[in-house]
Amino acid sequence: MNGAAQTASRPRSGDELELRVDSLAFGGEGVARLGDGGYVVFVAGAVPGDRVRALVHRSKRSYAHARVTEIIEPGPERIAPRAQHPGVPWQILAYESQLRIKQEQVADALARLGHLDGFALEPIVPAVEQWRYRNKLEYSFGDAGGELILGFHAPAGGRDVVALEDCLLASELGNRARAAALEWCRGAKLTPWDRRAAGEREERTGAAHDGRVRLRNLVVREGRRSGRVQLRIVTSAGELEAGEFAAHVHGALGEALSGVVWTRSASLAETTLGGETELVWGDEQLPERLGELDLRISPEAFFQTNTEMAEVLYGVAADYAALSGYERVFDLYCGIGTIAMWLAPRAGELWGLELAPDAVADAIAGAARNQIASAHFFAGDARLALPELTERAGRPDVVVVDPPRAGLSKRVVHRIVDAAPRRIVYVSCNPTTLAPNAAELAAAGWRLVRVTPVDMFPQTHHIECVALLERGSHG
């Protein structure tokens, strides 16, 4: 598409554009503008200053999404990539640039989306390790010229799987585990799950599965402190020689292997959640330490994927909570209780609330294992259970929240307002939902005091933050 055509109309899917990238959007795509009208094109694989050719794959009235096909002129901050896979899209930016942009995006979200000011935005905390920092990776099985491969799905919704020789997000132990699993699956002549073929089979026969086991995913989870690794193989319905698989992996990893579990999933969706999971070999829970805490992590339990930076993150949260030994603390969305147990020695009493009963069972067991008698955990939806918890335990002095990416619903915000804590510590994995939530709390009488960004995920756009809100005299 030539320049005149670009300014005359919005691009269509399949058009190739020549663009100059101005900035990075939250989410990691480059931002370019067409013509005088300011039509926005989000460009995957581009960084500020790049002049690129990009192929449009989605077009809307006021914006389009495209992916780079050629770098015509690299921007001044672009560097050569190290990893040959799509799991690290920001690796083409120098790490100092990544940190600066993340800091700017947090500031922008709080100002533009939350209309917040008068708070201290602390400097972003850099990651301890820029590579090989993840303790959990979910790989997808695929096919390349008739050979079984194991890697990541291509970016921008691609169906193809990009094979891996060395995943630079994983440790050497994690890479050995992945390689051993793939070796056995190739030897067993197993084939990968094909979502499109399964969907067509379901339309034709009424069943997505034909009874033959097919490989979907491999989840490798590592105890960074314990030096142990857990494998979960995810397949379609069907029979798998799971004991032979476990024996092969154990032969390759020895005592470093903690356990092997097998999940059979009937879902058409690309997900490792759900299905029927059974223990094949070893221990179902992975041993790990976080600071002074002795933890056991179940196969599908949430645990921060950067162990070293989780300790930093929780340290910031503890600093913001400013506990002196007598406070009543509520931990909402407490998961397996890691933040609660981290704070419990500094609190008078701590009450954790989590929707998933299995996570609550893990939290209760973890508190007992670590001899933390002051922490109590309950299963419940914060929207409904928080008033009951307040009535039972009394009003909290401090509320800690660590919600999913969607942030807090309006109802949960109202429940927190009704509980009237003096201090709220908000651990956020998404500044664009932290900002409106903080604005709602500010309107109800709390003041945003401090925010610290923490880089949990180098080479990606993801940003973690800890925010402190304190109730004003009129709250």
429 is catalytic: yes
E strands in 224-275: 228-235, 257-264
Which strands form 228-235's sheet, in the order they lie side by side?
161-163, 147-153, 136-144, 215-223, 228-235, 257-264, 276-282
Q: Annotated catalytic residue: which of 167, 185, 334, 429?
A: 429
Identity (one letter) of the amino acid at 215? L
Distances (CA, A) of 269 to 196, 216, 221: 10, 10, 22
Which two structure tokens, joined as six digits, stand for 50?
A: 């790049």
How buried is residue 324: exposed, middle or buried, by Cβ count under 10 Å (0-12/13-18/19+)?
Answer: exposed
What SS3 state is found at 415? helix
What SS3 state is found at 264? strand
What is the full DSSP assignment across 328-397?
Answer: EEEEET-TTSHHHHHHGGGSSEEEEEES-HHHHHHHHHHHHHTT-TTEEEEE--HHHHHHHHHHHH---S
Element containing residue 432 per DSSP (H, E): helix 431-443
Report d(CA 231, CA 220) in Å as an integer: 5
Name the residue with tokens 């905390």: 125
Identity (one letter) of the amino acid at 270? E
Q: Residue 255 gets which letter from DSSP?
A: G
- List of residues 6+ apart from 345 with CB closer than 8 A: 372
Report d(CA 5, CA 2) in Å as an integer: 5
Q: Residue 281 gets which letter from DSSP?
A: E
Contact in structure between 466 and 433 (CB atoms under 8 Å): no
Phi, psi of 86 (to 5 degrees): -85, 10
Distances (CA, A) of 73 to 25, 39, 87, 298: 20, 22, 24, 48
Report d(CA 98, CA 131) in Å as an integer: 14
Name the residue with tokens 């002196």: 324
Report d(CA 80, CA 93) in Å as an integer: 8
Phi, psi of 434 (to 5 degrees): -60, -45
Active site residues: 429
